Chains A and B, each alone.
Chain A
Amino acid sequence: MMASPLFFPLALVLYFSPLKKQQIIEHISKVSEAAMEKMKGEIVEEERSNCDNEGDGKLKVRILVVDDSLLDRKVVERLLNKSEEGFEVITVDNGKKAMDILGLNEAETEPAAINDQSIDIVLTDYCMPGMTGYDLLKAVKGQSFPKPIPVVVMSSENEPQRISRCRAIGAEDFILKPIQIKDVQRLRNYAKPNASSPIVGSKRKMKPLELATESGGGSEKRPRLAGVVVA
């Protein structure tokens, strides 16, 4: 096969041929540049998808605040935004609008419309005209969402009966108004942000997801993703 008498000298010629050598070198560098570009692209893509979710390094929690008082909405929104708990705040002034956002108002709601705004937690005032916070709590807990949504009720009245009523139908917590910084930290613990699908096939070390600690009701835990550690 190799036509041995010719092979060796031919290989030598090829090896020492400057033109061929140059071509080989150029080809190799082109291939490696392409490979480098591809790898860079993958890294940027991975980082971008991480940034979309992580913001300041934590997953953003979408919180729906329901309160008929503009003053209270303003204060709560500011408190949530200024805290370093990574909240994305949506506010509405009544229970019906909250139901719309959660996709609960339509008689025949398509599965895709249920919580399509990806609300992670609802914080509702108890006393509201029309649909009260209790009514909203009942509606949310009565709906089987793909992922249950925690509901925290807030009220200016420290009434034990009111509190036990809310807890009995599944409220995660009951907070006295005006809410404080320590209450914001509790809210963060109840919420489990809607994470995007994990990046599979990556040979990068994955950050372990934070498991929410719960002091209230639900027993669900987020699945821990298997990471691939770069050797």
Chain B
Amino acid sequence: MDSGNLLVPFVFWSLTRYRPIEGGREQDKSPQIIHPFSSPPNHRSPVSEKERKSREGAMDVRQLQRQWIDLISALFREGFLDAQFTQLQQLQDESNPDFVVEVVTLFFEDSERLLNDLCNVLSQQVVDFKRVDAHVHQLKGSSASIGAQRVKNVCISFRNCCEERNLEGCFGCLQQVKQEYSLVKGKLEALFGLEQQIVAAGGSLPMM
């Protein structure tokens, strides 16, 4: 009952706090309602440290994702990778999240072993071109299976040199295939490094 006696005067008092805008035809500003019991609103409230870090993290992920897109686009544009690599990416999903890395790692292992064998066979006194061809055939197969197009193309030329028993040609192809392998390996490792950073930062890989 006592509070009821105070309520009506209170309502009237709080209405006196309301200040409509003079000449408010355009209504470009909303009327400022000042609550009687609070300080005026401060429109520049400080952003919390947590929120700031979260915003920075999100920007980092976007930056990393852009770098990833740029790198992989370049790999396709410059012919390092072909459509088979895209197929591998499509075979990767939540049930096999590391499929591409696993398969490419197998390619690296195969290639290093085969390049080593090729060096050995080609440096023999009497070169066994059939053995050279067998190794190059395997390297060609592995590179085709992961879409390493430039390595595969050098292997095709390499096999032609073997067929012609062209030793100088074979040495030239060996240097070339080593170079192409080294280039694609470096770029793929950079790509996987970016992927790890994106995932660690809480992002996901862009869908290609």
A residues bordering B, Cβ < 8 Å? Answer: 69-72, 74-75, 78-79, 82, 127, 156, 177-178, 180-181
Query: Shortest distance in angstroms between A124's beta carbon and chain B's nearest beta carbon?
Result: 14
Contact flags (1/0) for B62-102 with A, using CB distance below 8 Å?
00000000000000000000001001100101001001001
Quick check: is B140 within 8 A (CB to CB) of the other chain? Answer: yes
Residues on A with beta carbons closer than 8 Å to the beta carbon of B102: 74
Tell me if A72 and B145 are in contact (CB < 8 A): yes
Contact flags (1/0) for B127-146 with A, using CB distance below 8 Å?
00000000001101110111
- Given the known A-B contacts A71-B146, A82-B91, A180-B87, are A156 and B141 also in contact in the complex, defined by CB atoms under 8 Å? yes
Tell me if B142 and A69 are in contact (CB < 8 A): yes
Quick check: is B183 within 8 A (CB to CB) of the other chain? Answer: no
CA distance A72 to B145 in the complex (A): 7
Tell me if B144 and A79 are in contact (CB < 8 A): no
Quick check: is B107 within 8 A (CB to CB) of the other chain? Answer: yes
| Neighbour of B137 across the interface among A70, A72, A75, A127, CB < 8 A | A127
Tell me if A177 and B141 are in contact (CB < 8 A): yes
Tell me if A78 and B96 are in contact (CB < 8 A): yes
Quick check: is B110 within 8 A (CB to CB) of the other chain? Answer: yes
Quick check: is B106 within 8 A (CB to CB) of the other chain? Answer: yes
| Neighbour of A71 across the interface among B93, B96, B106, CB < 8 A | B106
Residues on B with beta carbons closer than 8 Å to the beta carbon of A180: 87
Residues on A with beta carbons closer than 8 Å to the beta carbon of B33: none
Tell me if A72 and B141 are in contact (CB < 8 A): yes
Tell me if B91 and A78 are in contact (CB < 8 A): yes
Given A70-B106, A71-B146, 8 additional A-B pairs, CB 8 A: A69-B138, A69-B145, A72-B141, A72-B145, A74-B102, A156-B137, A177-B145, A178-B145
